[in-house]
Amino acid sequence: MNIKKFFAIALMGAALAFSGCKKEKSSDKDILEFWVDNVQYDKSGTNFVKFYPKVSENNWGGFPAMPVAPSKVEISPKASIEPPMTERQNFEQGVTYTVTAEDGSKQTFIVRAQRNEYLD
């Protein structure tokens, strides 16, 4: 076998070997935890909500002054989130977050703080 043919076959083999090593990009796009003012919000599907109980006439236990930035957010590895976590929001009106996976796919989530009246 001549040297050119040998190198051509070797290069083709190397190309085939490396083409099988191509890593797929992650499609994970989830919010795993969401905290506001050091209070964890409860997750239900693509919604996060925290119910703040009314403890007196104008006091809802622990309700944060709005607008406020999230205190902790955990998302899927290699994903990104918009709007930025440093941005102050009014969660009482509900805030929509979009998580983008490494592969470019997206998922939206709504985060809401809700004042609960007395239950009589």
pTM over 0.75: yes
CA distances from 92 to 21, 22, 49, 99, 114 (A): 48, 45, 10, 21, 6
Q: What are the boundaries of each domain within the chain?
A: 24-116
CA neighbor of 82 nearest in space, from 57, 49, 109: 109
Confidence category of residue 19, pLDDT binned at 50, 70, 90: low
What span, in angstroms and rounded, lies between the C-alpha atoms of 120 and 118? 6
CATH code 3.30.470.10 for 24-116: no
Preceding omega of 67 cis (within 30 degrees of 0): yes
Q: What is the pLDDT of residues 65-88, one digit of tens each?
A: 999 999 999 999 999 999 999 999
With a CB cutoff of 8 Å and minimum separation 6, the contacts of 35 are: 41, 70, 71, 72, 73
